[in-house]
C-alpha cells in the first residue's frame, strides 16, 4: 500500500507478509509532524495468526531526535516499551502506530465484523511526542462491503473509513488516502 497524507505533507508505504503462522507489516513513513518537525520512520509489526500484536519496532528520526522503539506484547497480555513494562494496557490486543494508517488493518482483520456489527477495539498507541505507550479508545462499525465508521474520542475523530479487499484503509478522511 502507498498512502498520501492529506493534512500535511507526507507519504507512507507498507507491505503485508505471511511469515509461517504469523503476519508481518513492514513500512516506512516520511511526513511533517504536527509540530512542524520532519519525520522519517521505518516500522515493523508482527502479529500471530489471529491478528494479536506480538511485537513491533519503530526506527528513524523526528526532527533532530533519533527514534528507536521496541514494543513487545507477550502471551499474558503484558506490554513493554524498550524493555520497560507499561501498566494498564493488558486489555489491549492491538498496537496503533498513530503516524500510519497501516495498523488499522490489525483490528479490522481481527474483529471480522459483519455488516451492521460494531466493536470497541482499545489499542496500545505509540505517542511519538512523549515517547510513551498509552491506551487509545477506538470503535469500528461495519457499514457495508468496504466501509467502517471509526471513532477515536481522544482525537475527537469520527469518520467513515474506506477499506480495500485486503483490509487496508484506502481512505481515511482528512488524514490519509491510498495512491493508485
Average pLDDT for runs of 10 along the chain of length 180: 97 96 97 96 97 97 97 95 96 96 97 97 96 97 97 97 96 95
pTM of the model: 0.95
CA 150 to the chain's CA centroid: 13
H helix or E strand, kind and range, residue 107: helix 105-111
Q: What is the pLDDT of residue 19?
A: 87
Q: What is the pLDDT of residue 158?
A: 98
Q: What is the pLDDT of residue 180?
A: 78
Q: Which residues contact 154 (CB under 8 A, 6 or more apart)?
A: 136, 137
Amino acid at each position: 500500500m502507498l498512502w498520501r497524507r492529506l493534512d500535511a505533507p507526507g507519504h507512507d508505504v507498507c507491505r503485508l507478509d505471511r511469515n509461517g503462522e504469523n503476519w508481518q507489516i513492514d513500512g516506512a513513513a516520511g511526513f511533517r509532524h504536527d509540530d512542524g518537525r520532519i519525520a522519517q520512520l521505518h516500522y515493523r509489526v508482527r502479529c500471530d495468526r489471529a491478528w494479536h500484536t506480538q511485537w513491533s519496532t519503530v526506527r528513524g528520526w523526528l526532527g533532530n531526535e533519533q527514534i528507536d522503539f521496541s514494543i513487545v506484547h507477550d502471551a499474558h497480555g503484558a506490554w513493554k516499551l524498550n524493555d520497560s513494562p507499561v501498566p494498564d494496557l493488558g486489555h489491549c490486543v492491538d498496537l496503533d502506530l498513530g503516524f500510519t494508517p497501516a495498523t488499522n488493518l490489525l483490528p479490522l482483520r481481527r474483529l471480522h465484523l459483519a455488516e451492521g456489527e460494531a466493536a470497541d477495539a482499545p489499542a496500545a498507541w505509540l505517542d511519538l511526542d512523549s515517547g510513551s505507550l498509552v491506551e487509545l479508545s477506538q470503535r469500528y462499525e461495519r457499514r457495508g462491503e468496504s466501509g467502517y465508521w471509526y471513532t477515536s474520542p481522544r482525537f475527537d475523530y469520527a469518520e467513515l473509513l474506506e477499506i480495500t479487499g485486503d483490509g487496508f484503509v484506502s481512505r481515511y478522511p482528512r488524514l490519509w488516502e491510498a495512491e493508485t
